[in-house]
Amino acid sequence: MRALVLATLLLATSAWAADMTPPPEIQPAAVDPLAAPRRLIAAKDWAGALAALRAQPQAASADWHNLMGYTLRKQATPQFAEAESQYLEALRIDPGHRGANEYLGELYVMTGELAKARERLVVLEKLCPNGCEQRADLQRAIAAAGK
């Protein structure tokens, strides 16, 4: 009997020890491939952001094209035609991309094309009928330009 109890304890102890192995390594959530350009944009380092974006071209990414358009538009010497092309490509990939709709509208405000800016606003009104940051920002830009 004593041998049976000892064997049971030994098996239980080894089973417990087996459970004490560390859990598998937890992998972090997917890393944003555009994190570096986003940080540079937030710091208003347009040249750095442009270089970072060009170093990692992502032809199929609406976000990449949107950030490229934004960076081109915000430089000291804006490249409006190239920025517009980037926004349009973002919208070709994802017609519902709120950022690209807003920023394309803002580009049109900057270039005096208010009718086109209002078209982007109509799209944003459909995308976020209860309001969203992009819609509000473009409304403000259009209102400011209309004064």
Tell me the per-residue pLDDT of 68-84, one tens digit each, with 9 for 90 and over.
999 999 999 999 999 99
The answer to whether residue 131 scores a pLDDT higher than 50 is: yes
Lowest mean pLDDT among 23-37, 41-55, 114-128: 23-37
> Tell me, what's the pLDDT at 146?
82
Tell me the residue length of the chain: 147
CA distance 19 to 133: 49
Q: Rounded mean pLDDT of 96-116?
A: 97
Token duo for residue 84: 């517009």
> Tell me, what's the pLDDT at 16?
42
CA distance 30 to 73: 29
Homologous superfamily assigned to 34-146? Tetratricopeptide repeat domain (1.25.40.10)
With contact defined as beta carbons under 8 Å apart, do 18 and 10 qualify? no
